[in-house]
Amino acid sequence: MPAIASLTVNDGLATPAAHTFAPQSTNGSVAKWADRSPSIPAGYRTISHELAEPNGNRTVNKITMGFMNPVVVAVDGVDTVVRYSSAKVELNIHPQSSLQERKDLLAYVANTLGLATVKTSVENLEPFY
């Protein structure tokens, strides 16, 4: 079981800048991190990770990761969140899956997000045709 610790994640600038997401909370199933560099707490960029084990209604391990990227601007001299972008990644993993199957799923997700065509679609809001 990994211990919660700060995460260092690069942004999407031409020359990427590293952002540190410090642990915010954890309860053994949900962990939250925040990049506290924005001037107001509502503007903190956040990452969350939740592991929900199978229960009566769910037959798989469900891992949900969330990302929130608020935009803070000065409005009449007051820093204000004016919009945000977010992402949610959900992995559903059968309890009998092998370690290699879990590694493959994670690699497919991570590597697909890095593909040039996927980046173009997201960055330019363009669908595939």
Cα–Cα distances (Å) from 17 to 12, 14, 58, 69, in that order, read 8, 9, 39, 15
What is the pLDDT at residue 56? 86
What's the CA dihedral at 116, 85, 4, 119 to 10 degrees? 0
Banded model confidence at residue 52, pLDDT cuts 50, 70, 90: very high
Does pLDDT of 1 surpass 90? no
Does pLDDT of 63 surpass 90? yes
Rounded Cα–Cα distance for residues 83 and 31 (Å): 24
Q: What is the mean pLDDT of residues 35-48?
A: 96
Q: Domain 7-95, what architecture?
A: 2-Layer Sandwich (3.30)
The percent of residues in the chain predicted with pLDDT above 90, rounded, is 95
End-to-end CA, the chain: 42
What are the residue boundaries of the structural domains of the chain, listed by start?
7-95, 97-129
Q: Which pTM value belongs to this model?
A: 0.91
Spatial CB neighbours of 45, under 8 Å, sequence gap ≥ 6: 19, 21, 34, 35, 38, 67, 68, 69, 70
